[in-house]
Amino acid sequence: MILGMTGSGKTTFTSKLTKHIITDYGVPQSILDSKPAQEFDGYPDLIRSERPPKLAEKGQQVWRPPRLSFDVLNEYFDMILRDGRPRIVWINEVGSIVKGETNPTAPDKFNDLAQMAREFGITLIVETQKLARIPASAKAQATHIIRLRLSPAAPYDQRIGNRLVGLAPDTPEPRAQHGFKYRRIDGDEPCRYYPSYHDFF
């Protein structure tokens, strides 16, 4: 799970991370571009369509639907589950695929994917700047959290971000502009600070 405000470096970090995974494991990548901001315009396999495209068997594929609905999202996540092969699934702004503010509800097939991804060798990466809209299934199944700069976000976003990486609620923002806190949360590892992705990789 990658948390951070606009301009904090979420997309750059995730892009570097996925390139390492693709190089190391040779798996395809499916990117759901749910908040078009020209970040993926340079990707050669960018698909703009109402319906989910046939899943790529290699390389990086970006799907940018003009509109999101639970029916279409369920179809997309179900395709990934039925395919059942290792891949990277990157959701660019997970807050845009949920309904509701106080108790965000995600599509059923997204919840299934979050629960079964590891069983199929799927790396699910969700990034968001809307921390209150993280689906419960994404929080429950997360093993790694990257918390980038969240100011000037609402104070509760900063508290949530700090809590998710095991820090005190009033912990200051990362010192460097693109600095971040990292924690592997499926073990006893402490939170670590990195001034930039160069230091992480």
Select from 86, 76, 91 the least CA-distant residue to 1: 91
Distance CA 139, CA 136 (A): 5
Could you tell me which residue, 76 or 150, shows the higher pLDDT?
76
Average pLDDT over residues 137-148: 93
**Mean pLDDT score of the chain, rounded to an integer?**
91
CATH classification at residue 62: 3.40.50.300
CB-CB contact of 53 with 43 (8 Å): no
- What residues are paired with 99 via a beta bridge? 105
> pLDDT-derived band of residue 50, with 50, 70 and 90 as boundaries?
very high
Select from 74, 73, 93 the least CA-distant residue to 1: 93
pLDDT at 36: 65
Could you tell me which residue, 40 or 2, shows the higher pLDDT?
2
> pLDDT-derived band of residue 29, with 50, 70 and 90 as boundaries?
very high
CB-CB contact of 177 with 7 (8 Å): no
Mapped onto helix, strand or coil, the DSSP state of residue 155 is helix
- pLDDT tens string 76-134: 999 999 999 999 999 999 999 999 877 889 999 999 999 999 999 999 999 998 888 89
> pLDDT-derived band of residue 38, with 50, 70 and 90 as boundaries?
confident
Angle between helices 108-116 and 70-83 (to 10 degrees): 30
**Residues 112, 142, 23, 190, Cα dihedral to 10°:** -170
Distance CA 164, CA 57 (A): 34
Q: Maximum CA pair distance of the chain?
A: 45
Share of the chain above pLDDT 70, in %: 99
pLDDT at 153: 65
For residue 177, pLDDT over 70 is answered with yes
Q: Angle at CA 32, nearest 5°, toward 31 and 34?
A: 140
Average pLDDT over residues 144-155: 85
Domain with 115, as residue range(s), is 2-200
Bridge-based pairing of strands 60-63 and 122-128 is unpaired
- What residues are paired with 124 via a beta bridge? 89
For residue 179, pLDDT over 70 is answered with yes
pLDDT at 102: 77
CB-CB contact of 96 with 34 (8 Å): yes
For residue 45, pLDDT over 90 is answered with no
Q: How many domains does the chain have?
A: 1
pTM: 0.91
For residue 54, pLDDT over 90 is answered with yes
Distance CA 27, CA 59 (A): 8
pLDDT at 186: 84
